[in-house]
Amino acid sequence: MIGELIRQMFRRPFTNLFPAKYAPSSPSRFVEAVKKGEIKINPPIETPPGFRGKIVYDREKCIGCRLCTKVCPSDAIEYIEDKKKIRIYVNRCTFCAQCTDACPVNALSMSNEFLLSTTDKNSKDLIVE
Ligand code: SF4
Ligand code: SF4
């Protein structure tokens, strides 16, 4: 165990720097930095089948039945009365997928997108409509 501990002290971390604020300002600068070894990047881990990431809403399919709003345990789905459509606040979502199971027309699904961290809880990226 002591040997493993000492070995780990001299190995680089297996995780990438996160969040993205540590990345260089432009993609070209990023590539350059990786090539020069200034940034060590491990390959991203592939998400497994059935992964529950950011919700995807197919507005065209939605028939405005409201079932998703009734099953959502975190009150993350707002019903827009005049449009008969919904709006999802990802900052409240617990990624339970109950709404996707309840939707009768498969207008909701879970993507494999999981890099959702932000300092702005009202970011447009966290509103799905
Ligand atoms: S995944 Fe769960 S928490 Fe998120 S919007 Fe659907 S029902 Fe609500
Ligand atoms: S359950 Fe499906 S069809 Fe009904 S309001 Fe929600 S997204 Fe639209």
H/E element, 86: strand 85-89
Query: In terms of domains, do 60 and 95 share one?
Result: yes
Query: In terms of domains, do 17 and 65 share one?
Result: no
Q: Tell me, what amino acid is at 71? A: V
Q: Which residue's C-alpha comes closest to atom 4 of ligand 1? A: 93
Output 11 or 96, whichever has higher pLDDT: 96
Which pLDDT score is estimated for 43?
Answer: 66
Domain range spanning residue 8?
2-35
Query: In terms of domains, do 18 and 60 share one?
Result: no
Which pLDDT score is estimated for 14?
Answer: 72
Which pLDDT score is estimated for 121?
Answer: 84
Angle at 42 between CA 19 and CA 39, to 5 degrees: 65
Encode pLDDT of 114-128 as tens digits.
888 888 888 999 999
Q: Residue 108 C-alpha to ligand 1 middle, in angstroms?
A: 10
Provide the mean pLDDT of the chain: 88
| CA of 102, nearest ligand number | 2
Query: In terms of domains, do 76 and 117 share one?
Result: yes
**Structural domain count of the chain:** 2
Encode pLDDT of 67-118 as tens digits.
999 999 999 999 999 999 999 999 999 999 999 999 999 999 999 998 888 8
Distances 55 to 72, 98, 102 between C-alpha atoms, Å:
12, 11, 14
Query: In terms of domains, do 63 and 124 share one?
Result: yes
56, 70, 74: residue to mutate for ligand 1 pocket, most atoms within 8 A of CB: 74
Q: What is the CATH number of the domain that holds 89?
A: 3.30.70.3270
Q: Which of 76, 81, 117 is nearest to 100 (CA)?
A: 76
Domain contains 48: no
